[in-house]
Structure 1
Amino acid sequence: MSLLPRSMPLLRASSRRLPALLTARLSSTASDAAAAPAASGANTASTSTAASSDAPLFSMENPYQEERRLCIACRHNIQFDYKNVRLLSQFVSPFTGRMYGRHVTGLCRQQHKKLDAEYKKAIACGYMGVMMKEVEFLRDPKICDPTNPVRPHRF
């Protein structure tokens, strides 16, 4: 049983001309319909015009694309400075004096690099200690939680 309607006996007769005649019938202008069967490469020409007419007329964003995550420094436009020891100490462990990694702080690569440079500069200038955090900064609110990292890590 054929899937084509009975009103199209021309299409059932030749299966070779099926794509060319279907696209010619679907085209909106009469000049495209007359030119498609007469052209030697009728299949490729008419298929490209049909494909362009089937394209959506609006540009829509991808609804499945994840929202771009911004780090806390980029989101709030925080500029790290070696003289702002209170801010730098938020990213330093109180037990070892080492900076937390990116997976704990949630900073992007660029901001973490800037933070590292300013942290080293603060140590070199004598604003921060090397081995431990200042006592007066221990009660500051925590920006990052080292026991619950933002990004998963291999440990």
Structure 2
Amino acid sequence: MSGARGNPATVADCLRVGAGFSQGDRNWIAEQFTPLDARLAAFPADGTELEVSVKDREARGQKITLECWIAGRSKIVTTSSEEDLRAGLHDVRDDLRRRLNDAKTRQEPRHNRHLRDTGLPEPTPVDEAATPAGDEPTGGAEPTA
């Protein structure tokens, strides 16, 4: 991991509940989002925020939104239209985890500087004068008798 300066981010530290949820729901939601802790640990807690909200809770057309802000990166927004609240929370959680993984792999590799700085080796020229007479490369048509 890239190693977060200071405290690593966790769901418990960074999560806030928005519209449609109460503070009483926060602990239950944080439990649902604990698989995100492994991915968030690469970022500092003071530069990371998560906000979950739901529109039309428990209704047929409910929409769950999870927003993630990480300092120095674009905001990531995931949504779900699952009718079951728990399934919707798992859906936005898994989508955020996938998108964080994708963003991580898109970055330039940090510990492979030699792969970035050095290109392919230069081809070495072949000295034809040093080639023995019997080692001539064969090519073309064979002589006919």
Which is greater in Rg? 1
Structure with more of its chain in helix, by fraction: 1
Structure with more of its chain in strand, by fraction: 2
- State if a TM-score over 0.5 links the two structures: no
